[in-house]
Structure 1
């Protein structure tokens, strides 16, 4: 079995820990410099993963936007775009979403029960992989490894980030904190309740802290063995 990918969680939050507000429009927390930084991280990744809830809510394309970065990937013998992956327990994903119609190869990880309807709905748009009675995140990483993915960028949402951290599967966290206060109890947040490895007394290793315009980027290593 191939070694599992290096997993990097990437998220932008408000000062009070929200990843969006409760309006119909997406709240843009990053600034232009930080969006460009994220584009660079995407270009350095072999695959980008996002949850089904984020696809339904934000309808993202998840592309490397810089032509120069795409050209550099091709010159290095890599696909122009990273593989795009999503996870969904319900299988309720519209084939008209932007995700399916931009960029390179796509793969969906789902449950045994949801796989048949997804294969029918997404015929020709994406590979559909069933991981058992529930979405099995270690199995997702094993399948990505078999596809040649060495570096995985996870862009959310909150339930997906929570699973990767709670199961000890994340190697690095990029937390971009924007100078914004959302202030809504029902706004979506970076992480949900979970039994995180080590509990609240374990302190993650801080790898870097720097400003990106008016955003503060914090890089953490969640695993105890990380340096």
Structure 2
């Protein structure tokens, strides 16, 4: 079975355990000023991502991330696939693209990958996909009064669908929204040996930012160096146990 859902600290009821996983440059950038696909992590980081992906029931990622890569990450390792089968999970997690506009190119290779595909969008964004295939589910998200996704409600619905662990794969705007909603329980960061710079280069958490007294706080649970990269695992202070 999948990992047990944990009680949310930010809303009543239960929700999935939410893990964000990102690779960044040594100066804290996840891409350059052009939004180029961040292919700088090593094979070690790719294996690490696959291992984390294999624990998830669903993934969340923004439309900008999909546009940059054109694809999504897959679980390919036979041992990891066998473990998912033993846990009675499907071979691949459900891949949920977050896009308010729904403006995603329908001929992207993503739509030919062997994954369940959902679109989390608005009423207007859903209109783009009314007459064309591609997504197994077009989900009109509950919206807060400020026009932002109502993440606690979305996650509670995922829990009712049996999803106990959600992996967030970027980008910075999506992570910022989830951080602001206080629903990220765990953070994996890979620090890669390059400097990107640029005032407008995206970071792991963009958005409007937080004041120092309101900044989300994390506790370092583990660190590991492989080659020239450092793998850091943080747990949100006050959150439940991490999912292995």
**TM-score normalized by structure 2?**
0.83
Structure 1 spans left out of the alignment, 5+ residues:
none
- Pick closer, same or farther for the CA change 1:86–1:139 going to 2, 3 Å: farther
Q: Which residue of 2 aligns with 1:216?
A: 230
- Pick closer, same or farther for the CA change 1:23–1:131 going to 2, 3 Å: closer
Q: How far does the alpha carbon of each residue in 1:123-178 deviate from its partner, in whole angstroms, 9 at most, with x for none?
A: 35320111245433223212321221100110000101111111101000001111
Q: Which residue of 1 aligns with 2:39?
A: 28
Q: Which residue of 1 aligns with 2:135?
A: 125
- Pick closer, same or farther for the CA change 1:223–1:168 going to 2, 3 Å: farther
Q: Which residue of 1 aligns with 2:8?
A: none
Residues 85 and 106, structure 1, Cα contact 8 Å, conserved in 2 = yes
Residues 110 and 130, structure 1, Cα contact 8 Å, conserved in 2 = yes
Structure 2 spans left out of the alignment, 5+ residues:
1-11
Residue number among 43, 55, 77 corresponding to 2:54 in the alignment: 43
Residues 4 and 150, structure 1, Cα contact 8 Å, conserved in 2 = yes
1:42 shift after superposition: 0.5
**TM-score normalized by structure 1?**
0.88
Q: Which residue of 2 aligns with 1:199?
A: 214
- Pick closer, same or farther for the CA change 1:132–1:48 going to 2, 3 Å: closer
Q: How far does the alpha carbon of each residue in 1:25-73 deviate from its partner, in whole angstroms, 9 at most, with x for none?
A: 5232321112111111111111111111111122122211213312332
Secondary structure of the residue that 2:193 maps to in structure 1?
coil
Residues of 2 paired with 1:42 and 1:196: CA distance? Answer: 32
**In the alignment, is residue 87 of structure 1 matched against residue 98 of structure 2?**
yes
Secondary structure of the residue that 1:163 maps to in structure 2?
helix
CA RMSD of aligned residues (A): 2.3
